[in-house]
Structure 1
């Protein structure tokens, strides 16, 4: 039995799914025997945590500084060009001072050029971790967008959601002891509780995505039943949105995406960086909860970047797999 859970402002909606058919309500004792729990939540309404944002790059006008609310921000020297050329040495002392004095534990780090070369973001993370051992650190390169401000906004948002995501994951673990938990992604699919804690932004609108999937699946079952395909369970109109979202979450499987800017001068070099991206996507989907032997590449897209030097590509790799639990 797979448990689908939709979190909302009122009591969670919980469904038990066996062979594709959903039943509810689910007694607590039965819920705790599930092979896995798939949780759908929307994080848009949660109170964000205060974030310490570090941008690595050159000076900029006040209007273009990092936007953090609530929290504090700084800009330190460093960064790389879009082709990976160093723009300036990283100001490690400035990073150390900021980390030691900001008084916060949730950090978002964004460096110019990091989708191409993430060295300065990784170095900042190491300094922050040494100064603030309890720090939770989001690095913008893991979101892959070429635009600095877009990456920075997502890194800050991810860091701000971290404490609430941790609370949600803890609550699920307490309510369903011993039941492996997965969380619904915004774009479809699932991630493990560990992945959800680290990248809550990937599940920012998980309930909305699960509702759409659940409604579509219920409609398919109703259509099959009307054609003599079997028992579709409750009629589509009778199923509340909270229940449909829980059902949709239970139908998901682990997914992960990797997005990178790469420099490849020739086919052989492009093939090499694509292999690296595929390997990273497979590693990431296992971290997201896929059974290692089931992880596979679902899609690869490669697009040359316009108006930039030849050989620059935006690579996006999607991987999926069967949940290791249940």
Structure 2
């Protein structure tokens, strides 16, 4: 495994980080808790020491699962990355979405990052996780109803109290990062990025490189699309966010699979799966510090961690980039 410090925070994370969104079941069609705990343990055994979660993943369930897994892991060797600012229990702030919990009950989710809300969320997360500190505390989404300086002052207070080691954000634009920096030093920005979704390369990546901020990317396998296992016209269960997604139309899946077939021989020369090759390519891109990868069972977790078992040469990365360049106009 490879590790990287987040800025100068002293928080050192594994470049493959366990993403526990799917483990919480929300928008993924449910979960099996024992499998999820086993997946975290299997990841740790292969050097994946960092776990990314959030309260809204399963309305607390994902954090509880991570807390259960933590009971038998050495806390000082595990980095817990969680978030704040998406509330399903409070109708305040900016309306984000109408959704359902894992039991099918309707919910409204709001983006809210007011001072008192953050303090409460941190206490709730610490309780669910069964720990007394969070290694990286991230604002899940920007909240246009709360001044950024109010949000950052609240996180600064939590750092002073020793409840948080380092502060990050998620889904922030460059302008929002610059505004936040006036109040609090941020070490990271967590954003979506994959072979078929590369818009951050235009502005977020250059800014983070110049200002020593780690980029943590989520959905590097594009919700499973880049594993090569999705077939055109494949149906997903009710509540699965891939239903109706523009990258999962039959035409888009056909295009992506054609790309994957071109790079499949390279994966085979590395004795790797397509997914592992995609993760290795992702981590070779400028500014990308961490790839967050989900797993719902130990087998998937092991496959993800083994993406670090090989390297890509400059020529191999260039070959993949040329295949991607041919795909881009149609995507």
TM-score, with length taken from structure 1? 0.28
More RCO (CA 8 Å, sep 6+):
2
Q: TM-score, normalised by structure 2?
A: 0.28
Which of the two has higher C-alpha Rg?
1
